[in-house]
Amino acid sequence: MQLSLYQVDAFTDRTFGGNPAAVVPLLDHTLSDDMLQYIAEENNLSETAFLSSTRSPSVFDLRWFTPAAEVDLCGHATLAAAFVVFNHLRPDIEQVHFNTRSGSLIVTRTSSGMMMDFPATEPQAIAPNAVVSHGLGCDPVEVLRGFDHIAILENAAQVRALSPDFNELKKLDSRGVVATAVEGDGFVSRCFFPKLNVNEDPVTGSAHCQLAPLWSKRLNKTRVIGEQLSSRGGRVICEVEQDRVKLFGQAVEYLRGTITI
């Protein structure tokens, strides 16, 4: 069996920027969950997205796997999957619907890139967490919990300077920790998920489903810009509308290949 594979840099307008994801269109093929995990492990990227066809040409089933496990939501791999749909699988459509473990996700082509419509998660304040503090090497100003632990730091410089203890962060009962701080009229972040074999994720769309509602409320703005301060870097433009978050980003194709099983 041979399968197409695309590697796409998401949340960037240049190759070698943003966050790389693999996209594997299964179309009419059916693979076991173990085989999907083997492929994701072999790709050794933070996420591999698998697309399956449905009866509608604009609707696909979408699943995301890290090298270690399947996850419920991944923004950059969704953006990469939409890029493959728009540029290779269905170039005639302007909007694609993905059926996922997090519900229906919609991606639309716009003049400035692609817009993803995701469910918002509003983090809740929790008590100080010793694992977060020891893992980050500092005491956050505040700790919140969404589907990740979120550590609000004093300023962007502190976020940039972090050198986490990844073994300590593996002890968390969440996916990982997102460190963030306000900067100007937007915010910065870094995302650490060592439990998923992703010590630092370059650009994390799913994290912005938590960060956008948080900073939108605190900055009193419906549109906020997030800068992720990984070595590759990336920018995510966020708009909050009630219980939804719209994330805007671009993507660039890095390679096309063939998987032989």
d(CA 39, CA 252): 22
List the catalytic residue out of 42, 47, 142, 183. Answer: 47
Looking at the DSSP assignment, which residues form a beta bridge with residue 118?
245
d(CA 261, CA 35): 9
d(CA 68, CA 57): 31
- Catalytic residue list contains 41: no
d(CA 205, CA 110): 18
Q: Which of 160, 167, 136 is nearest to 150 (CA)?
A: 136
Look at residue 12 and give its three-state secondary structure. coil
- Whether residue 94 contacts residue 87, with contact meaning beta carbons closer than 8 Å, is answered with no
d(CA 121, CA 153): 20
* Residue 106 CA from chain centroid, whole number: 15
Extract the tokens encoding 196.
Answer: 């998923």
| Residues tagged active-site | 47
